[in-house]
Amino acid sequence: MTAIHDDFKTILQNNINEISYNLLGGQIPLANSNLRVFAQAVSKPQYLQYCFLDYISQQCTPATATDEYLDYWGLLKNVIRKAASQATGIISFTGVANSSVPAGTMLIAENGETYTTDNLAVVGQNVGITAVNDGSEGNQSSGVTLSLRSSIAGIDNTLILQNAITTGSDVETDDLYRIRVINAFSSQTTVDSRQAHINWALAIPSVTVAWVPATPLAGTETVFYIMLDRSNEYLGYPQGTDGSASDETRYKQATGDQLTIANQLYQNKPYTEIQIICSPIRKDIDFTISGLSAASITTQQQIKSAIQDVLHTQGTPLGTNITLASIESAIEKIAGTTSFTIQTPTSAIILNTGELPEVGTVSFE
């Protein structure tokens, strides 16, 4: 928020002007004079007082509140800031058959991040691992080497992470948290409303976007489409299979990221509801653009990014039509793209329920 008061130099100059015209008949006080020192001594607490009042004024509304004051506003609507979450993954040890690894065994990644095994495991058996530290630092790309902190008889000291770890997330920032708080204040929802369901999903660490269809799938079966951080290795698509929580006996159990989210939603679900957590289905859209074959690599990359922004902004897994005009408009904003034609696709992009668009191959002719 921009300060509404004068800066220190302005306040100091105003006080010097007061002394000059009211005490010295228009003369400017000398640099080392008592009056100039007095002006500086008065101006500093005056400036700090204005800064404090400016800070306090920001906390009077959730639109500008920060830190713990924003947390207090959120509590009024039962919207809690997302805490940092620990990254989790699945590994499989190699070594002598039937050799075992105790629960709590520590492994160290190439970048120094540490993990512990969730359960007792034997060679060749999948076992969960959890990062020791909270936050996104615990996320790892596939192919990273993990090493045992202490050697175990019959167990190889190193292993390769086969699947990326993407579930670690940092404490929710003020900017992201404020959006959820303001949404809570601006919408009057009942406990079983569609918006309430979306708010529940967004309150889960690592979930960045959520969609809920307008009507249940069947009876009390409510579908949640969720996405994680778009910057991860999988562009935010959850890794696992769709389904319900571990304690839900009326529907098939989810796995992977979907199960983690389903279990957290299950704690506060409506009594009769069956919650089904789904990952959107990635649908790559190929583009052929004529008239820009001579464009630089940088310009072509900017075009791809512009198309991707449109697809991410307008695409939803609830069934969407994205017009070519909106994509053309985004490309036209890039310098050097005054004359071009989108050859393919030839008409609006139509997405079926469950599909989310991504940029496929972009060819320039």
Element (H, E) at 170: none
Spatial CB neighbours of 43, under 8 Å, sequence gap ≥ 6: 8, 11, 12, 15
Q: Where are the domains of the chain?
A: 8-58, 65-81+172-186, 86-160, 187-278, 282-364
Residue pLDDT, tens place only, 169-209: 899 999 999 999 998 888 765 567 888 899 899 999 889 99
Q: pLDDT tens for residues 244-259?
A: 999 999 999 999 999 9
Average pLDDT of the chain, as a whole number: 90
Instruction: Say what the pTM is.
Output: 0.68
Q: Which of 16-25, 225-234, 334-343 has the lowest mean pLDDT?
A: 16-25
In sequence order, the 6+-apart residues with CB closer than 8 A to the CB of 287 are 307, 342, 344, 345, 359, 360, 361, 362, 363
